[in-house]
Chain A
Amino acid sequence: MSHVLFAAATVPTIKTPSIAYHAIAPILIVLGAALLGVLVEAAVPRRERFNAQIAVTVLGLIGALVAVGLLHNTSLTTPSPVGSSESFYGALSVDPAGLFLQGTVLALALMATLLISERSIEIGSPIVASAAVVVGSPDDKRLANSERVQTEIFPLLLFAVSGMLIFPIANNLLLMFIALEVLSLPLYLMAGLSRRRRLLSQEASLKYFLLGAFASAFFLYGLALLYGYANSVDLPAIFNAQRTSGKSDVLLYLGLGLVIVGLLFKASVAPFHSWTPDVYQGSPTPVAAFMASCTKVASFGALLRVLVIGFSGSTWDWRPIIWGVAIASMVIGAILGVTQTDIKRVLAYSSIAHAGFILVGLVAVTSDKGQSLASVMFYVLSYGFTTLAAFGLLMLVRDADGEATHLSQWSGLARKSPLVASVMTILLLSMAGIPLTSGFIGKFYVFRAAWHTAGPLVVIALLCSAVAAFYYLRIVVLMFFAEPPENAPTIAIPGWSASVALTTGVVVTVFLGLLPEPIVDLAVKAAHLRG
């Protein structure tokens, strides 16, 4: 042991890495906005705080989005990654695919922010006034009906977003782990901040935290094993080690397996999905929307990078695993979704099934020339917008206890509000993959990518989509063809912020179904991961 330390100490010079600040500008902007948000918490008077936080968050996200756009243009014209890999010792790779995913995360986070800052549906906001107050205490009851609101959620969201921005561009597993923690920890807190049904929310938070901590431990253990195998935590080094290393393959496979488990957990892929329905149900709805869209984009981004950069040499070893989890995810998502009676849980199982569909596209990612990569990127983008809008709509259907999420309460909704019912129908049809919606184009794209290498998997996926279509259609049947119940919920009129978010989600869903060319083109051009 001392020998090793000694050896390390005799390395003659330690060069400080040169950092291409412009290449990580989006991350810096978001982090800066998050820190500013913390200062706002401390310095701005309570009355002004909410609006100040919204301004900081929205401007921070837009600024980062602009930066991503500028970087994207340079990354397409220059052959090497922006700020060549040397500048970070190869830890970060700002490549076109990474930028595409970063842009997607930022756009979706912006929409989630708009949903969180919705104040006209509910007094205060969907977020609890003070998370630390004991549930059911007199203080809690008083605060529940007050205008007060916890504004820490905005910096928390920005911190989570910064983790999500690093996650898909980390070429170094240790950095990826840090990004994983940076994105997860705020999410655990955010899950517990619901204004209504606080116990359920806190339970969701705790559950997410405990299971998430487990998953992180898996990831870390896998990372350690891979270091043992390759003497490095850099993905390119691990790739090279597979040809040169004389160490046991057990280390490699075990390490890879454990790292994948950590990532699949975050992406809510079966059999690591069990937290998803409970957490989505308990979390404040806009936070669930944020988790269902942004977290998924970021985790699949990281998974893509690990498999393509680190393990494209052992495709034949991990491909069966992806087959297995993809089938498990699609089957569990489709079949268990049928038995659900709560719309949030239905959307959660739908999210699990969709994770399976995305994995179908991922199967061939190392063996075709960017087609699979482009298809997965398109899918996460289109699904993100659809699911975000769907969760957003749940906020509008309310009864005395808050959101009315039981399926029976949605019967006859079309009578009450044809607009809400029609919009929900478009989103559900998109999730079911009916043509003229983005969901169909996305499904077609991933299935086409997978057909050559995994024909049977595509057929299974198609059958699962048929099963899943049942529960989407059941909601449509309820809304349009059933009679409203006695105590039918009311439809809240959203304020400007939620309206903007919902409209964007629906417009993107329809637009990508009719004219997907621009985004498909963008994804095809951006389908380059660089080590």
Chain B
Amino acid sequence: MSALAFTYTPVAAAATHVPHSYALVGLVLLPLVGAIIVFSLKTEQAKLAKQLSFLISLAVVVYTAIIAIDFNTDKHITTANQFQFAGSWVWIRDFGVHIAFGVDGIALVLVLMAVILVPCVMLASWNSLDSKSGAEEVAAPGAPQRSVKNFFGLMLLTEFFMIGVFTATDVFLFYVFFEAMLVPMYFVIGSFGGPRRQYAAMKFFLYSLVGGLLMLASVIGLYVTTGSRSFAITDLIGHVPQGATQKWLFLGFFLAFAIKAPLVPFHTWLPDAGAEAPAGGAALLVGVLDKVGTFGFLRYCLPLFPQASKYFAPTILILSVIGILYAAFLAIGQRDMKRLAAYTSVAHFGFIGLGIFAFTTQGGTGAVFYMVNHGFSTGALFIMLGLLLSRGKSRNIDDYGGVAKAAPIMAGLFLLTGLSALALPGMSTFVSEFLVLVGTFTRHKGLAVLATTGIILAAIYVLYLYQRVFQGPAREKTAGFRDVNAREIAAVAPLLALILFLGIFPKPVLDIINPAVKQTLHEVHQTDPAPKLGPNSVVAGGTK
């Protein structure tokens, strides 16, 4: 499977041998080059811009798939060689920073999820800018035409930053991607969003920026306190001094990621940004960009600051559980569909936080799998909402009713999406939620029990939404709704297919994730607690 002549370079001898695999550099640059080409098109060439962007995003999927097939899941992992396809080049010698890429199982599955979501989002947004029937709201009279090529260019640019942020193995480079990623999303929200887009874009940017700057303080602190002349993550692990320093540095990273994730009480930007962003942008924002926060917990907070992670874990676990319950209640009370979807995500992030900070293999593996599933599930949810809004031109749930009669296929797809959001058994989301809860239960029984009630609440907000929008008597407005066409089905179907497939057969993904999670826990000096439930205790399949 070395069609692109990937050479797997062992990183074990990092001290003497610097790896130079170009595989990931190519992957990162592909969407960037695409974005530059699309931006350089003329505004009139909207159609070409769409087709070109879609093709590039498909090429990225193929490229990533080849890397995934080439990925070695049986390798014995140590701190030094945990990244595959590693490549590292000096960037700024005096700062000790490198252009360094590499993936472990966690990064790989997240990159896969992100690149699969992008073409789906593009398909779903195909007509949302340049046709009245595709727009999410009735355009104000005299409102200028929005630039199609800019939207698709920004999507590719966002993809570039997403891949970069997941594959960077140098803390400085990660930070650069983490911050710079805000800019294209800021323009997606601000240029293509709803009525309060200026406010939402600004709020999104400033929240993330404050978190990012606190993280910058910690990044510099890492450099100073470890005395390491390098920002490579493998050079930093295990070198952060214990005690108060480590706690402060941890907090810098943690706050940035908690705002990004977002963890209650740092979540208030997400409902605004999620609601005002165009549906495609929201799908990427909530589905992928926010995963950077939870990914950051696993990749940076835990291995770099093991002692502080353990110290703060109880607080974070409690915040996560509060998030699960609080956001679920808020979701039930929403009238704005996109805000509702955003709040469901806040609740789901609670589960991910729970899984990560429970420090068990099941919990960790479940959390990573949860991130992947949530990306697909929320992506599909926002895409479906976008399709619904393009017909109803309103985000208010009360304006709808009986849509299922006019558009039965749409209702079916929406129901499937909704069921994946509430983690119905048979869906991949169920596997991950179950793993998280089992993983949590072995350490924190009370919290696991409380979190489980979140599943019931999820059923309420999903089914209540479905009932109000799709069931009941058809309104005058909804009676004329067009059912989904082939393009729209093609945008959602792959995501739902993946959710169903991984729900029945999650092993391939879990096999990729598991070694990386074990290594991460090893770096936090945590081992799974011995089972105390008796000899017949059930341990979730696929993790063993």
Q: A residues bordering B, Cβ < 8 Å?
A: 374, 415, 429, 432, 434-436, 440-441, 443-445, 447-448, 451-452, 455, 458-459, 462-463, 465-466, 469-470, 473-474, 477, 480-482, 516-517, 520-521, 524
If A448-B224, A480-B190 touch, whether A436 touches B176 (CB-CB below 8 Å) is yes
If A435-B175, A516-B92 touch, whether A462 touches B202 (CB-CB below 8 Å) is no
* A-side contacts of B183, CB under 8 Å: 429, 434
Closest Cβ of chain B to A357, distance in Å, is: 12
- Asked if A451 contacts B224 (CB within 8 A), the reply is yes
Closest Cβ of chain B to A472, distance in Å, is: 10
Q: B residues bordering A, Cβ < 8 Å?
A: 91-95, 144, 175-177, 179-180, 182-183, 186-187, 190-191, 197-198, 201-202, 205-206, 209-210, 213-214, 216-217, 220-221, 223-224
Specify which of B93, B191, B217, B220 lies most central, judged by the most chain A CB atoms within 10 Å of its CB: B220
Closest Cβ of chain B to A372, distance in Å, is: 13
Closest Cβ of chain A to B209, distance in Å, is: 5
In the bound assembly, the distance between CA atoms of A470 and B205 in angstroms comes to 9
- Asked if B206 contacts A470 (CB within 8 A), the reply is yes
If A435-B176, A469-B206 touch, whether A447 touches B220 (CB-CB below 8 Å) is yes
- Asked if A520 contacts B209 (CB within 8 A), the reply is no
- B contact face: mostly helix, strand, loop, or mixed: helix
* A-side contacts of B216, CB under 8 Å: 443-444, 447, 462
In the bound assembly, the distance between CA atoms of A402 and B175 in angstroms comes to 42
In the bound assembly, the distance between CA atoms of A516 and B190 in angstroms comes to 31
In the bound assembly, the distance between CA atoms of A30 and B92 in angstroms comes to 34
Kindly list 16 other residue pairs between chains A and B, CB separation below 8 angstroms, not including A429-B183, A448-B224, A481-B201: A434-B179, A434-B180, A435-B177, A436-B176, A440-B179, A443-B216, A444-B216, A447-B216, A448-B95, A462-B214, A462-B216, A462-B217, A466-B210, A469-B205, A473-B205, A477-B198
- Asked if A458 contacts B201 (CB within 8 A), the reply is no
* A-side contacts of B95, CB under 8 Å: 444-445, 448, 520
Specify which of A432, A481, A521 lies most central, judged by the most chain B CB atoms within 10 Å of its CB: A481
* A-side contacts of B220, CB under 8 Å: 444, 447-448, 451, 458
* B-side contacts of A455, CB under 8 Å: 221
- Asked if A466 contacts B94 (CB within 8 A), the reply is no
- Asked if B224 contacts A452 (CB within 8 A), the reply is yes
Q: Which residue on B lies nearest to A520, using beta carbons?
A: B94
* B-side contacts of A445, CB under 8 Å: 95
- Asked if A520 contacts B92 (CB within 8 A), the reply is yes
- A contact face: mostly helix, strand, loop, or mixed: helix
In the bound assembly, the distance between CA atoms of A443 and B182 in angstroms comes to 18
In the bound assembly, the distance between CA atoms of A463 and B210 in angstroms comes to 7
- Asked if A462 contacts B213 (CB within 8 A), the reply is yes
In the bound assembly, the distance between CA atoms of A436 and B198 in angstroms comes to 24
Q: Which residue on B lies nearest to A437, using beta carbons?
A: B180
- Asked if B190 contacts A521 (CB within 8 A), the reply is no
11 contacts between A and B (CB under 8 A): A440-B179, A441-B92, A444-B95, A447-B217, A452-B224, A462-B213, A465-B213, A466-B213, A469-B206, A474-B202, A480-B187
* A-side contacts of B217, CB under 8 Å: 447, 451, 458-459, 462
Closest Cβ of chain B to A450, distance in Å, is: 9
In the bound assembly, the distance between CA atoms of A516 and B175 in angstroms comes to 16
Closest Cβ of chain A to B41, distance in Å, is: 13
Q: Which residue on A lies nearest to B207, using beta carbons?
A: A466
Specify which of B202, B216, B224 lies most central, judged by the most chain A CB atoms within 10 Å of its CB: B216
* B-side contacts of A473, CB under 8 Å: 186, 202, 205-206
Q: Which residue on B lies nearest to A459, using beta carbons?
A: B217
In the bound assembly, the distance between CA atoms of A400 and B418 in angstroms comes to 58
* B-side contacts of A441, CB under 8 Å: 92
If A448-B95, A466-B209, A470-B206 touch, whether A415 touches B144 (CB-CB below 8 Å) is yes
* B-side contacts of A415, CB under 8 Å: 144
Closest Cβ of chain B to A465, distance in Å, is: 6
In the bound assembly, the distance between CA atoms of A452 and B245 in angstroms comes to 12
In the bound assembly, the distance between CA atoms of A122 and B95 in angstroms comes to 45
* B-side contacts of A474, CB under 8 Å: 202
* A-side contacts of B223, CB under 8 Å: 448, 451
Specify which of A434, A440, A458, A470 lies most central, judged by the most chain B CB atoms within 10 Å of its CB: A434
* A-side contacts of B209, CB under 8 Å: 432, 466, 469
- Asked if A524 contacts B94 (CB within 8 A), the reply is yes
Closest Cβ of chain A to B219, distance in Å, is: 8
- Asked if B182 contacts A434 (CB within 8 A), the reply is yes
- Asked if B214 contacts A435 (CB within 8 A), the reply is no
In the bound assembly, the distance between CA atoms of A168 and B93 in angstroms comes to 27
Q: Which residue on B lies nearest to A524, using beta carbons?
A: B94
- Asked if B179 contacts A435 (CB within 8 A), the reply is yes
Q: Which residue on B lies nearest to A477, using beta carbons?
A: B198
In the bound assembly, the distance between CA atoms of A307 and B530 in angstroms comes to 62
- Asked if A517 contacts B93 (CB within 8 A), the reply is yes
Q: Which residue on B lies nearest to A482, using beta carbons?
A: B198
In the bound assembly, the distance between CA atoms of A443 and B224 in angstroms comes to 16
In the bound assembly, the distance between CA atoms of A13 and B452 in angstroms comes to 96
* A-side contacts of B191, CB under 8 Å: 480-481
In the bound assembly, the distance between CA atoms of A440 and B177 in angstroms comes to 12
In the bound assembly, the distance between CA atoms of A521 and B90 in angstroms comes to 13
Q: Which residue on A lies nearest to B176, using beta carbons?
A: A435
Closest Cβ of chain B to A337, distance in Å, is: 15
